[in-house]
Structure 1
Amino acid sequence: MDTNRDCLLKEIMSVDFTSIELGLYLNTHPWDQRAIMLFNSSVLKSRMLRDKYEKMYGPLTQQSPNYGNTWKWIDSPWPWEK
């Protein structure tokens, strides 16, 4: 078990949860500048963390960039496999 991998994946899930919740909030409060700033920040952080994860461990989704010379989407374990 790779604890660094698990920690990074949990951080991605946490940041993505924040983005989703802020997006829902902004649907009813579209002029909240602080929420917009936090939303943008969490989206950028998610992209950065996903890029880091995928370069180290492989793609999170089939639409992720493929780093290297082989199609890594089919490699195990997949993020949801434990």
Structure 2
Amino acid sequence: MAKMCYDDNDRSKMMKKIKELEFAAVELNLYLDNHPNNQRALNDYNMTTDMLMDMKETYEVKYGPLTNFGYAKSTPSWKWVEEPWPWEIGE
């Protein structure tokens, strides 16, 4: 199986940023559950979600899908198992 050559430092930085944005989105979601009328928190949540979706899309274009089961298309061949799993990046 041929390995693709990637910039592991860039990949690790992108994965770290995705994790940070996911954490922020969850925290803002929980805050909004208790403060549903807080417009600033809602704006922050929407901005964070937009940034997260953009970062994930960029990551997947460069390195392949972050998840399976229909959230991302595959390349012409099935590459999912050829690279480290998303949670293995940066370890």
TM-score (norm 1): 0.91
What's the CA shift string for 1:44-79, capped at 9, x where partnerless?
A: 111000000000011110033124212222222111
User: Identity of aligned pairs, percent?
Assistant: 38
In 2, Cα distance between equivalents of 1:70 and 1:24: 39
Q: How far has the Cα of 1:11 moved from its partner?
A: 0.3
4+ long deviations beyond 3 Å: none
> Are 1:27 and 2:57 counterparts?
no
Greater radius of gyration (CA) = 2
1:77 aligned residue (70, 79, 84): 84
* Partner residue of 2:48 out of 29, 42, 47: 42
Partner of residue 65 from structure 1, selected from 63, 72, 79: 72
- The DSSP-based 3-state class of the residue aligned with 1:30 is coil
Q: Structure 2, unaligned stretches of length 5 or more?
A: 1-6
CA distance in 2, matches of 1:3, 1:64: 25
Partner of 2:3: none
Structure 1: gaps spanning 5 or more residues: none
Structure ranking higher in helix proportion: 1
Matched residue of 1:61: which SS? coil
Structure 1 residues 79 and 60, CA gap change in structure 2 (3 angstroms):
same
